[in-house]
Each structure stands twice: as C-alpha cells, then as structure tokens.
Chains A and B, each alone.
Chain A
Amino acid sequence: MAKQNKAIGIDLGTCNSCVAVYQQKRVHIIENEAGSKTTPSMVAFTSAERLIGEAAKNQFMLNPQNTVFDIKRLIGRRFKDDTVQRDLGLWPFRVVRGKKKKPMVEVEFKGFTRKFSAEEISCMILWKLKKTSETFLKAKVRDAVITVPAYFSDAQRQATRDAATIAGLNVLQIMNEPIAAAIAYGLDNKSNSSSQAKFILVFDLGGGTFDISLLSIKKNVFKVVATDGDSHLGGSDFDNNLVDYCSQKFKQKYNGDISRNPRALRRLLTACERAKKCLSSAMETVIELESLSEDKDFRITITRTQFEELNMELFQKCIKSVDKCLAGAKVLRSEVEDVVLVGGSTRIPKLRQMIQRFFRGKELCNAINPDEAVAYGAAVQAAVLIGHRIDLTVMDVTPLSLGIDVEGDLMDVVVPKNTSIPTRKEVLYTTSLDNQAIINISVFQGERAHVEDNYYLGEFTLSGIPAAPRGEVSIAVCFEIDGSGILKVSAEHKNTGVRSEIVVNSEDVGGLSKEEMERALIDAERFEVEDEEIKKITVKRLDFEKYSYKMRERVRQEKLKGLMDMDEIENIEKYVKEAIEWAEGHDDAECEKLDEKMQELKTICNALVWTSCTDSDDSQGSHSDKEESEVES
C-alpha cells in the first residue's frame, strides 16, 4: 500500500550517524556523498558557509572553535546539569547559557556571532541525512524513525523530536537504540513461540560512549529492564592508550619527548588508530613513522597481545558494567538468551572473547556490521510503521518515575520507573485545606523523594472545586503516556466534572517553544537557500575561471598565428590575466559581481572570437554575430 512512500531509520549518534532504508525486502544502509556509510555528527561554521558531516570533519583542525560535535551530550539538557558542566571543558567550541537555562552553542558564522541550540545543530545533521537518503532514493523523504539511548529522559527525547521536525521529518517514533539493535537481529520474531519473557543484553561500545542495556521480550513486546555504562568510554580511549605506549617506547629508544610536539602526536595518533583496526584481524602490525621527531625514525611492532594488555583495564571495566547491570536487574547471566554487539569497538577480538566467556560461551550476535546495526533496526521499524509487515510491536518503558508533588514537597510516584508505554494510570487525591477551591499540580520526573531533587516537567491548576472540608474532595489525577513517550497529565473532580490538563511538551521540559520552533524552521529553510546560493556561486566561479583560462590559451595561439594586431592581442592578454588574478583573489565574490565580470570579459574577448571565426569560419552562432556587427558598421 505504501510502496511509494519510503520511511527511513536514523541512528543519530554522538560521534557518527547512520541512515538506512528498508526496500525490496532488505535493509540498505545509505552511503553519504563521500561514499561512507556513517556520517560524522559534526557541523562547522565558516565565514562563508555551513558545513555538515565529512566536510565539517575535514576542516576541523583549521577551525576548531566553530566546529560543533558531540551535540548529543547537550540536547535536552539544562546548562547547569552536572554532565553539561563536566563536558564544557572538553570542547573547543563555546557553550553559553541561553534562555530557559538551555545550553547554547556560540559560533562565528559569516562574520557574526550566532547562538544555536542543540536542537538546531541536531536538525542540521538530520537534514543532511535526509538529503543523503533523498539523493539515494530519488524521492522526497518525510517519515523517519529516530533512535536515542535508552537512558534519555523525556526532555531529551522531545528535543530530538523537535530537531527532526525542524529538519522536515515526520517522526514516526523515537526509538530506543538497544531495541533497534535487537530488532536488527530479528530477536523479536525468535520469541514468537514462547510465552515466557526472555532477556537480551545489548552491548554498545561506540566512538565515544559505552552503553549496556538489558531488554526483556515477551510476546513481541520489548522492555528496557536496566541500563548501565560510561558516557565517556569509547574507541578513542584505546587509541590514546596505544599512543601513550608508543611515546614511552620512543622516549626509551631515543630519549626524545614527543608529548609536547603536537604534530608528531597527530601522526602517531593516526598511525595508532590504523594499527588498532588492523589488530582486529591481524595478529601483529607495524607502526612505522619516519622523521617522527628531530629526524628520528620510529618503528615498532605491536602484537595483538600487547594491545590487549594495554587496554585490559578498560575491557575489564566494560565487563564489570555488564555484571552491575545484570545485578541491578536481578537477572542471572544464564538467563540472558542473546547478547547483541553494537558499535565499532566491539570488533576487538579480546573484548568479544571476554563477553563470550562472561556468558559461558554463548554465541554472540555480531553478524550485522556493528556500526550499522542500530540504523538497520530503525529502518525495519520504520518499514513496519508504514505498513510493510505487521507482526511486531515495540514497547518502550519510562526511563524514570513520574509523579506529582504532595504535602511536604514529597514526590508521589504515579507511573513508576520502567513502566511500559503507552500507559494510563489514575490516582485519587484529596484537598489539604478546608474549602480549598484551587489545587495546584506540579509534575516531576525522577527517583528522589523530595520534588526539588527531581526534574520539573510542568504544572497546572484545577479550579472550581466545590467548598468542602479538607480530605472530603476526591480528585482523580491521570497520567497518560502515548506510544512515543509524550506525557499528558489531567486532573478531574469526579462529582462536578471540572477538568484541567497539561501536555508535557517541549516548552515545559525546556525544549523549544512554539515561537522558537517556528524561528528555527525559518532558519533551517534559510540555511537551505543559502547553501543553494553558495552552490550556484561556485558553479559561476568555475565557469568564469574556465572561460578565462580558455581565453588565455586562445590568446597564446593567436599570438603564434600572428594574424591579429599585436597591440590588441596584448591588451586582451592583459585583461585575461587580470581576470584570472581577480578570480584567485576573490573567493567570496557575489553572484552579480561574477556575472558582471564574466560579461566584461566576454565583451573584450569577443574581438578575439570574432577574428578567429573569420579565419576558420566554423561556427554558425559567431557567424551571425559577425553579420550583425557588419550591419552596425
């Protein structure tokens, strides 16, 4: 039914993003314009243009202050959150406090200082992925499933949803990454027969983050049971360990210190990263760098065992997290049916071996490229949602408890943590004062007893309660969470039917308000227009340069022929030379200026074209030109 309408699955990662589509009964990972299947989640701003993905990454060293990455660590968070404050020092770009305590990224863009919210930056990445898939599918793409980590709060999910909306995507579902990975392996179908819940462990070790999620599946319904991990552990840590080791060896051998030589370190880091990848398949590899520092050559053989020893501490940390996660959920390791590996660093053989040993030799799910597994699952889910197959329902859970404040600023939990959604819970409350006509209900999210320690989501009032002694009135408060995790809280006085409700939406959880959303949408469109404009200018520039070089060549030929007036030819030559220099010196020329210059150059060079045409008389168009000028004279 929905043949024309393709829905994509997007894995919006911290370091890299990936997009996939389900077509012709299989999932296709869509390559970007550079031919790689993952796109760096990076956006760069320069004095002339905005760059996204590979282009942004390539110019990172030239422009670190205005290259934004790791935006996933900011999205949906507040400026004063501990994690944000901790990460602030690690980034070369500036993060400032914006409206409503939101963190904003401050960059120099086209000569102006501009602030962007995390949603806007994410939107640019999503927009790029959308364009990539549109180029691949040769059709407009609207519907998408986007994945987020299992531990993301409502605010973070909502912010991701906002970002997608600005990018012009219709979000079918915000999905948990581990569930997407499990779906990619078809673990949902495997459980069809058994009615008992079974457990799946998803081990995700990516470029910068490490997440463990324990899922349970029962009759095609997924639940996230527990999560654990480390937000700052990933592939680059292994590289750094190797770099440290190498620089130590270098010091021993030559007594030279390279830790203060950034250029040498960069060469070493690149070589170490390559060595690490190599060691996943080979038993040993050679790092060979000539003239690394002070004309000293560096050559070292790294064996797989050495590499494993260097990183053993990190590996063990990973396994401990798995243990902790299982212990927290009170699940025995023998109860885990499947173990799914996600993220590039799970290619390391030692790590695989350790996980396998931990689960007593269980076969691991590693058939799908671990970089793409999440996008793969998201694409399957997207296809399901637009009606390709219907034998699957995914159910998420609330990552944190939801409740309201009661007397004494205490948190009264209405929807406990890990309740599967969609859900609807109703609780009866009563007034705390005599003749209380108005009741104020604040909604919180979190596990702490006092509301001020929890995350404030919003509040609303129910008025028009009939006068009665305290405790006599009963008010039903109802929490409703829909399939994509959006919360609606309502309160109703049962006898009179007075009702009031709140949808905990973007604005209330610190996401984007309607106006901000509209502004961002306009910005997004404008940027698209600007990007188009830049493309147009580039084409014009190239045309101009091509034409002037062609004319230079022509002048040279004419000179050799010697048929034309020497003065005239030199005049033209001078002019062409000037034009070439002008083009080299004006990278940022505007469209009209280029048009003007082109026109000028053409007028001057016409004489050339004209004379040569009278010689060879090969072109109809020029021929008529000649006739016209004759008529004029």
Chain B
Amino acid sequence: MDKTTAAVKSQAAFRGFCVRKPQPLKELRVIMKTKAEAAEMRRRLIDCHLVDLIRRDEEEQLKITECIMSLLLRLDAIQGVNSFVRESRKAVTCELVNLQ
C-alpha cells in the first residue's frame, strides 16, 4: 500500500468516527435547554390570568400546544441515545406531555 492510500484510509476512518461517535454531552445540552424552556412554560401556565385567557381563547390555546409540540419534536429528533441520555430525555418528555 502506498503512502497516499494509507493516509486516505486512516483519515476516512477517523472522520467516520467523528461523525458517528456518541455525543452524549451534546445531546444532554439540548435536553437541558429544552427542560429550561419547559420550566419557563410551566411557570407561565401557573399564572392565573394566562390560564384564564387560554381557557377562553382558542387561538392562545393553540399557541401553547404548538410551543409544547415543537419542544417535543426537538426531543424526538435526538438520535442514537445511550441509556443515561435516554433517561433524562424521558423525564423531560413526560413533563412536556403532562403539560399538554
């Protein structure tokens, strides 16, 4: 095998690894961000005034469900999770589903 082929081969392997390697931290970061947003949403929903508004106004209701939906979809989009990440994701998902 000549030098160039060898170089190409090892670089390909390395780059492939970079793409495929599990990135639990990155995933966790997305989950935490979503969690914070979910908490914010919950906080807002405690506000009686807003709840009242949502009950009366269909459009407001739709807006809130859409917000929750987009957060849920973001969580669903996380691929190739390990068991640890999965657990934390599940917690946030449950919270969001309950909010719905």
Q: Is A80 in contact with chain B by the CB < 8 A criterion?
A: no
Is residue A283 contacting chain B, with contact meaning CB distance below 8 A?
no
Contact A62 B76 (CB under 8 A): no
- Is there contact, CB below 8 Å, between B93 and A291? yes
Number of interface residues of A (CB under 8 A): 14
Q: Is A110 an interface residue (CB 8 A)?
A: no
Q: A295 and B94 in contact (CB under 8 A), knowing A62-B63, A263-B65, A290-B89? A: yes
Q: Which residue of B lies closest to A293 (CB)?
A: B97
Q: Mask for B65-77, Cβ within 8 A of A = 1, else 0? A: 1100100110111
Q: Is the CB of A290 within 8 A of B94?
A: yes
A297 to B77, CA, bound (A): 15
Contact A267 B73 (CB under 8 A): yes
A289 neighbours in B (Cβ, 8 Å):
76
B94 CB, nearest partner CB in chain A, Å: 5
Interface string of A262-273 (1 = CB under 8 A from B): 010011001100
Chain B residues numbered 37-76 whose CB sits less than 8 Å from any CB in chain A:
59, 62-63, 65-66, 69, 72-73, 75-76
Q: In the complex, which residues of chain A have a beta carbon less than 8 angstroms from the beta carbon of B62?
A: 61-62
Whether, in the assembled complex, A274 has its beta carbon less than 8 Å from a beta carbon of chain B, the answer is yes
Question: Given the complex, which residues of B lie within 8 Å of A271, measured CB to CB?
Answer: 76
Chain B proximity of A191: nearest CB distance (Å)? 38
A295 touches B97 (CB 8 A): yes
For residues 280 through 299 of chain A, which have their beta carbon under 8 Å from a beta carbon of chain B?
288-291, 295, 297
Does the CB pair B77–A274 fall under 8 Å?
Answer: yes
- B83 in contact (CB, < 8 A): no
Binding site for A on B (CB under 8 A): 59, 62-63, 65-66, 69, 72-73, 75-77, 81, 86, 89-90, 93-94, 97, 100
Extra pairs beyond A62-B63, A263-B69, A267-B72 (12, CB < 8 Å): A61-B62, A263-B65, A263-B100, A267-B69, A267-B73, A271-B76, A289-B76, A290-B86, A290-B90, A291-B94, A295-B94, A297-B90
Name the 3 nearest CB pairs between A and B, nearest first. Answer: A290-B93, A291-B97, A290-B90
- Is B66 touching A61 in the complex (CB atoms < 8 A)? yes
Q: Please measure, in the bound complex, the distance between the C-alpha atom of A93 and the C-alpha atom of B44, giving whole angstroms.
A: 32
Q: Complex formed: what's the CA distance from A289 to B89 in Å?
A: 10
Q: Could you say which residues of chain B place their CB within 8 Å of the CB of A291?
A: 90, 93-94, 97
Determine the chain A residues whose CB is within 8 A of the CB of B65 once the complex forms.
263
With the chains together, A513 CA to B10 CA distance in Å? Answer: 66
A290, B63: Cα distance in complex, Å: 23
Q: Note all chain A residues with C-beta closer than 8 A to B66.
A: 61-62
A263, A270, A291, A297 pick with most chain B CB within 10 angstroms:
A291
19 contacts across the A-B interface (CB closer than 8 A):
A61-B69, A62-B63, A263-B65, A263-B100, A267-B72, A267-B73, A267-B76, A271-B76, A274-B77, A288-B76, A289-B76, A290-B75, A290-B94, A291-B90, A291-B93, A291-B94, A291-B97, A295-B97, A297-B90
Give the complex CA separation of A297 and B66 in angstroms.
Answer: 21
C-alpha spacing A267/B65, complex, angstroms:
13
Q: How many angstroms from the CA of A115 to the CA of B89 in the assembled complex?
A: 46
